[in-house]
Amino acid sequence: MTIPEFFFADELTLGKILFKLSWGVLTGFVIVALNDRLARRRSGIDDEEIYKARQSRRVTVALDVSKALELCREAATSINGMKFRSVNQATQEVIARSSLKWDSFGNVITMSAVRLGEHLTEIQITTRPVLSTVIIGNGISWKEASEVEDYLREHDARIEPKHLEEGAEILNTATLRPINRGFENLNSTRK
């Protein structure tokens, strides 16, 4: 506010400079306070996570990878304010973009699918601002990531016994001491 005065004002006094600087600082504090209040109202929580411009979530769905990608595509087309951009079968990613709003230039939402089992897929949801210069968010990234996460959880397939068996198999191969051998050793010591 003060810099244009150097070029366009006839008289620039110390009082005018101090007034403009004070007015700018006060305006900045008001904008930050309103942004903070808006972010807390959007999220409903009081956590540092809501101010991050880049968000990340993981959701495990009881679908194979192709159906999980189709579910991600549905999420991108069904959620209000979000537009589907592309599906990359090679990297198994669905890319969407949120629309321009008065307080945001929008976000790019990427949903990456990773196969965990025959009928289990983990989807990683990441959001990033369209403008890479954005450092602090006002809760919009948090809200959009949560909307996608909720949509995927809501439209997930029902869990059946085959999913539980696959989950136990994944745990069995992921642990140092497989679960079944642990139960066998436990049963043999009881006898």
Give the phi and the psi of residue 176 in degrees, each rounded to 5.
-70, -40
Minimum mean pLDDT range among 7-11, 25-29, 116-120, 181-185: 181-185
Q: Are 129 and 105 spatial neighbours (Cβ–Cβ below 8 Å)? A: yes
Question: Is the pLDDT reported for residue 54 higher than 90?
Answer: no
DSSP 3-state assignment of 130?
Answer: coil
Q: Are 74 and 96 spatial neighbours (Cβ–Cβ below 8 Å)? A: no
Minimum mean pLDDT range among 51-60, 82-91, 118-127, 130-139: 130-139
Q: For the structural domain made of 47-159, what CATH number should be given?
A: 3.30.530.20
Q: What is the residue extent of each domain of the chain?
A: 3-40, 47-159
DSSP character for 161?
Answer: H
pLDDT in tens, 64-93: 888 999 999 998 888 888 888 888 888 899
CA–CA distance, 21 with 28 (Å, rounded to integer): 11
Strand ordering across the sheet containing 120-129 = 55-61, 120-129, 107-117, 93-98, 82-88
Can you tell me the mean pLDDT for 98-112? 85
Stated pTM of the model: 0.65
pLDDT in tens, 147-162: 999 999 888 866 666 6
Q: For CA atoms 124, 143, 71, 59, give the dihedral sign.
A: positive
* CA torsion angle 7 10 11 12 (round to 10): -10
Please provide the average confidence, as pLDDT, over all residues in the chain: 79
